[in-house]
Structure 1
């Protein structure tokens, strides 16, 4: 057996609050910053740099025929027009995550939903970013009264309704690789198989996000 700290108990991440000695923004970006922190952990002084991220939300909109609303959008860092879910940053001070998700669904695809549930929370790259992302399951989909103007990358968005099973097949075939879409599609398929008993309260706090922790 490999050595480690594993002990019997539930499979759950442990929240740790080490002593942070220094914390400085070493690069201030347009969307997010790069932060350098030195902290004490297990008797050692450690320095790490990471993306200081405001967090984000995404929406898996599902219609009455088990079809998922997907968008295709250009993403410059990976040079792809990739299939993904409507999503956006939590970059409006004080805006609740659910309200942000509802806003993004309206602004990106001109849709509203009658029912909202929490589908998944995850950390996108915990070794190099403090980003926490929440995915909502939205149902009872209808059109907005207003059609939103879109600029920059969003101006060329392609929208398509795709059966959930087809999305899962594309994920497993590695034909789509957007992390949010991969996690959300698999979570939705697993949740559906359990009669949606895995869903959470849409208003639940994002307890793992740094801003939420600092507010407590």
Structure 2
């Protein structure tokens, strides 16, 4: 069994809790734990080969990220948003992410831009929803990665985590025209960033986020209780 096998037992330490948190985060991203689903400590411990201590630490870390809701003496659930809450989060993202991009764009390195272009191409080439979501997150987080901010970057990442399950729903709902526009916007962002057109890149990301919000608002069933 390899050292990286997620089922292998590990010591009770920060590495174990980080590994469990990463596993749960990935499972949420892939739709294995949908919004509102119960996260049972004993099942998670068995799945990831960990004791209860790192599982509890992992759940607390995911709560801080906005992915998990902990209720005292009751348990843990994958965070769920109502339609109104999701719209508010996306409206917030529409305003904050262009600002974060403005902080980051002037400092992106040539290799960053090359990686962004490669990610945009890879997203357009895959039909796997989980792979697309992984690439999409890497694309946007990389575009923001050179920003030197006190709290804006952490806030944007938390908002991303909060809407992660609904990004999956959006991707599943998107028709061929919507997917084409989505991929075109990724490429337009790269072109604007290469040309130093920060305002153009800001307009693109703002519209990109707004389009997701508007499509989700037309599908209230996504937010229905399980």
Bucket of the pairwise TM-score, normalised by the shorter protein: under 0.3
Scaled by the length of structure 2, what TM-score is found? 0.25
Structure richer in helix, relative to its length? 2
Name the structure, 1 or 2, with higher relative contact order (CA <8 Å, separation 6+).
2
Give the structure-1-normalised TM-score.
Answer: 0.26
More strand by share: 1
